[in-house]
Structure 1
Amino acid sequence: MNKTDRLLAIVLELQRKGVVRAEDLAARFETSVRTIYRDMQALSEANVPIVGEPGVGYSLMEGYFLPPVSFTVEEAVSLIIGAHFVEQKFDRRYQEKARESRSKIEAVLPENVRMEAANILANMRLLAADNDSPSSKQEKERVDTLRQAMLDARKVWFRYRKNTAGADDQRESERVVAPYGLAIVNGSWVMLGHCELRGGLRHFRLSRMSELEILEETYQRPAHFNLQEYEPADDRRQFVRLLADRSIADRIKDSSYFYIDSMEDHEEGLLVTLRVRQTGEVLHWVLGWGAGIVVLEPESFRDQIREEIANMAKRY
């Protein structure tokens, strides 16, 4: 953080907290207490009314405030929750910026709005998967790499792993892609770009990438392409019908599984219809419910389930 940004952040911190010790400011901005003393002198010379009380700390003179930002309580809560989301799902650079943004938003809110927003947020929490897991760290590193590639308009190379049926039936290919955008789909990062291997727009889950590299070759994104308006074609044309026991019906309803097309309560249980590209995409999800779920159709998928269960039995 440069000096100008730090000076503004100090004013926001004083406005938000009232009285702050130099030691706390030094810890907050990862600098020395002596530097904070110099910053306070610089603010005073810039006519910011800083009040310093030995043994207590620094504060702003009563009545001084930065120009207010007019947020309703709902707007403030939305922005703060959005900042929490960025902290959880984005790479380290944007995590830090999200924290700084949240502090600035909280600092400039009128007291009554800040108090009401804090009361609402006290009863809300955004939970996510373990942010320190190896897979999560790798995904965030790839987000950072791809974001830089898009800023520089340079193509990327990576290995891509794609399941075709079971866990033992995977294909890995090398891809060169011009990245057009990043999106979070069902909680996972996905890159959209022009794939040279397939000769068109393709989606790639970042969790299935490896050895991601930025190439020297540049590209130009089509002028007509708009990520916000783009809607990928849904090529899931095969249907799988299942019957789930009542004992697991609620858990299936709560799963928000991507491939579920419809669900219908029935006297024998829950009728579930999945829409897939190929049945292998849902093989392990179905097996994960054990004897609590039965495949009704297609018969080819029932055979696939039987074969997988037989292979599992051999291991035991």
Structure 2
Amino acid sequence: MNKTDRLLAIVLELQRKGVLRAEDMAAKFETSTRTIYRDIQALSEAGVPIVGAPGLGYSLMEGYFLPPVSFTAGEAVALMIGTDFVEHKFDSDYRTKAQSAREKIEAILPESVSQETNRVRTTIRLLVTGETYNSGREKEGLEALRRAILDKRKVRFHYSKNIPGADGNRHSVRDVAPYGLVFAQGSWILVAYCDLRQELRHFRLSRMSDLTLLEDSFTFPTDFNLQDHKPADDRRVLVRVQVHPDIADKVKGAGSFFMTQMEDHEEGLMATFHVRQPEELLHWVLGWGADVVVLEPESLRNRVREEAAKMLKGY
């Protein structure tokens, strides 16, 4: 990073973070503390009102805002793709805001950058899959849950969950304190403290219905940080399957949320999975027909035999 870019980046960081030490800025911009001191001096001489407090760091004088900055074609494309994603995957409120933001970005781009941005965007496509009933249900609940999180209000909803090996789905009513929303594996997931289970749980928005905002408020735990949160991995059951060479590439391309390892062998692809219950892979295995054979555990091999026998009776 050259000096001009670094000076601009320093102002942006101060505007964003509030107070920063010279040591922190030196680490971020991969330079020396002495260089940061010189940069701060250069910015002050250029009229940027930077205030230094011994033992605390540097900050911008209250009320100072950096004038509008320009974007490179790559930065503009990144922002445009971001607005496309928000428009497709968030609720109607943010969809409108994403459209407005895109229009403002397009309006301030110089002609040369705008042309390059449009050229690059024609080579990139955001595929939005799963435009189904579930997707619509997710979007309906997303706005209500966002507001509940910001207002620190509990919510109630009916939750439907498929239990492998059971007949049909299990339904329950949950009262939860919503802590955050995560977009993973193409689906929105609510991270919340469940009153029924008395612990932190994860709920797919696609499985929720009758969502209601409650009057009860809650307080975020001081030790909870959504960005650092990692759900406990309870997928402890090992499943190994053998894939016929003719479809090995298809299986690799399709993948699976539960797949943890793939190895090529002469007799075919050996795939390893970790699941909570073996039945979670039943439909995946059956979907590939005779080209996928379960090696272990025996319980899953038996379930495949049972389902195959039922299918044979149907024909």
Q: Under TM normalisation by the shorter chain, which class is it?
A: 0.7 to 0.9
Unpaired stretches in structure 2, ≥5 consecutive residues: 1-66
In structure 2, the CA distance between the partners of 1:116 and 1:166, relative to structure 1 (3 Å rule), is farther
Counterpart Cα distance in 2 of 1:243 and 1:179: 42
Cα distance in structure 2, aligned partners of 1:107 and 1:232: 42
- Residue 198 of structure 1 aligns to which amino acid in structure 2? R
Using the alignment, how far apart are the partners of 1:176 and 1:134 within structure 2? 24
Task: Label 1:154 to 1:215 Cα distance change in 2 as closer, same or farther (>3 A).
Answer: same
Provide the identity percentage: 55
RMSD: 1.5
Query: Which residue of 1 is the match for residue 193 of structure 2?
Result: 194
* Cα distance in 1, alignment partners of residues 298 and 204 from structure 2: 30
Contact 1:69–1:108, Cα closer than 8 Å, also in 2: no
Matched residue, 1:207: 206
- Deviation of 1:68 after TM superposition, in Å, equals 4.6
Is the 8 Å Cα contact of residues 177 and 196 (structure 1) preserved in structure 2?
A: yes
Amino acid at match of 2:266: E
Question: Does 2:80 match 1:86?
Answer: no
Normalising by structure 1, what TM-score?
0.75
Distance in 1 (alpha carbons) for counterparts of 2:91 and 2:175: 23
Partner of 1:74: 74
State how far apart, in whole Å, the 2-side matches of 1:311 and 1:175 are.
Answer: 36
Compared CA separation, residues 162 and 123, structure 1 to 2 (3 A): same
- List gaps (5 residues or longer) in structure 1: 1-66
Cα separation, 2, equivalents of 1:110 and 1:257: 44
Displacement after TM superposition at 1:304 (Å)? 1.1
CA–CA distance in 1 between the matches of 2:212 and 2:252?
A: 40
Aligned counterparts of 1:130 and 1:205: Cα–Cα separation in 2: 14
Q: Counterparts in 2 of 1:1-316, with a 5 A limit?
A: 68-129=68-129, 131=131, 133-166=132-165, 168-316=167-315
Q: Tell me the distance in 1 between the aligned counterparts of 2:167 and 2:70.
A: 56
In structure 1, how many angstroms separate the alpha carbons of the residues matched to 2:191 and 2:234? 16
Partners of 1:136 and 1:95 lie apart in 2 by: 15
Tell me the TM-score normalised to structure 2 length: 0.75
Q: 1:68 to 1:110 in 2, by over 3 A?
A: farther
CA deviation digits over 1:268-303, x for unaligned, max 9? 111111111111222111111111100000111101
The structure, 1 or 2, with the larger RCO (C-alpha pairs under 8 Å, 6+ apart) is 1
Give distance in 2, aligned partners of 1:130 and 1:277. 25
Structure 1 residue identity aligned to 2:123: N
